[in-house]
Amino acid sequence: MNFQFNKNRKLNLLAATLFVLSLGACNTGSQPKAESLPDSTKIVSLNGAISEVLAGIGLDKNIVGTDVTSNYPENLKSKPKVGHNRNINAEGILALQPNLIIAAKKDITPAISAQFKAAGVKLLLLDQEFSADGTKKIIHTLADSLHLQAKGDSLAKILDTDLAAVKPVTKKTKVLFIYARGAGTMMVGGTGTQVETAIKLAGGQNAVTEFADYKPLTAEALVKANPDVILLFDSGLQSLGGIPGVVKIQGVKETNAGKNKRIISMDGELLGSFGPRLGIAIQELATKLN
């Protein structure tokens, strides 16, 4: 596996020189040094994790626009926003006159890709896997593609250190994640979600295993799952009126979580983006579960 990973990195490095040189040729008409990205490169990032990696390898100054999920580090909040990465509008992005657009492959349709190509803008698409290895892969792939592999290696080492510092839950703990946007919109997280992966990394168990992805919350499903802890995003908890509002949801009082008022929340972008702060997110989640 390591051999294959190293082989892929070598291929990335080979492609990176050509990629950076092509950017420089488009921007300046002359051949730049391949050791770094040309200062004139203007980037639009369409993914929160990607934006964090770009900032982590020192390219936040090159970012001229982001999607609405890109809010860390703090200086990204002031960048022009081009909408949500699941609803991309090519015209709004091209209006920022970028010469490099970076996104997760799953978020860009062939039609949108064709629009960027027709406009002569470079498009770098990355596979995004919601796991610790997936986060390291996106760091290395992005840094290598932009010929900043040393900075990518440093960022990945920080992630490894953060993950190694996690003190996972030792007691069997069933966790139910509820995605909420007010009492009228509440969904339960099943298997295969980012949050389930985070729960497992923290040593917990997903309380729901009967279905994949998300389904509307019902009192029957809640009682059947009988979670020890109910987890929400901070925004979701606030939309329900805090812990008192969650306890009032039908079925909650019948669960172990409701009886013991074990209801916790975390920043949604921190917990769900699987960016360079993944280790910090899992540390916080494990601490709250403990």
For the chain, the average pLDDT equals 90
pLDDT tens digits, one per residue of 88-144: 889 999 999 999 999 999 999 999 999 999 999 999 999 999 999 999 999 999 999
The pLDDT assigned to 26 comes to 39
pLDDT tens digits, one per residue of 7-45: 555 555 444 444 544 454 433 333 333 346 778 899 999
The pLDDT assigned to 86 comes to 82
Does the pLDDT at position 1 exceed 80? no
**pTM of this prediction?**
0.86
pLDDT tens digits, one per residue of 176-205: 999 999 988 999 999 999 999 999 999 999
Both 158 and 182 in a single domain? no
The pLDDT assigned to 8 comes to 56
DSSP per position, 45-57: E--HHHHHHHHHT
Both 97 and 18 in a single domain? yes
DSSP per position, the chain: -HHHHHHHHHHHHHHHHHHHHHHHHHHHSS---TTS--TT--EEE--HHHHHHHHHTT-GGGEEEE-TT---SGGGGGSPB---TTS--HHHHHTT--SEEEEEGGG--HHHHHHHHHTT-EEEEE---SSHHHHHHHHHHHHHHTT-HHHHHHHHHHHHHHHHT-----S--EEEEEEESSTT-EEEE-BT-HHHHHHHHTT-EES--SSBSEEE--HHHHHHH--SEEEEEHHHHHHTTHHHHHHTSTTGGGSHHHHHT-EEEE-HHHHHS-STTHHHHHHHHHHHH-
Both 101 and 208 in a single domain? no
The pLDDT assigned to 28 comes to 34
Mean of the pLDDT values across residues 54-67? 97
Total tally of structural domains belonging to the chain: 2
Mean of the pLDDT values across residues 44-55? 98
The pLDDT assigned to 92 comes to 95
Mean of the pLDDT values across residues 255-279? 97
> What domain range includes position 159?
2-164
pLDDT tens digits, one per residue of 218-236: 999 999 999 999 999 999 9
Both 160 and 195 in a single domain? no
In CATH, what number is assigned to the domain containing residue 29?
3.40.50.1980
The pLDDT assigned to 23 comes to 55
Question: Which of 141, 164, 187 finishes a domain?
Answer: 164
Question: Which of 103, 137, 164 finishes a domain?
Answer: 164
Both 118 and 58 in a single domain? yes
169 in a structural domain: no
The pLDDT assigned to 6 comes to 54
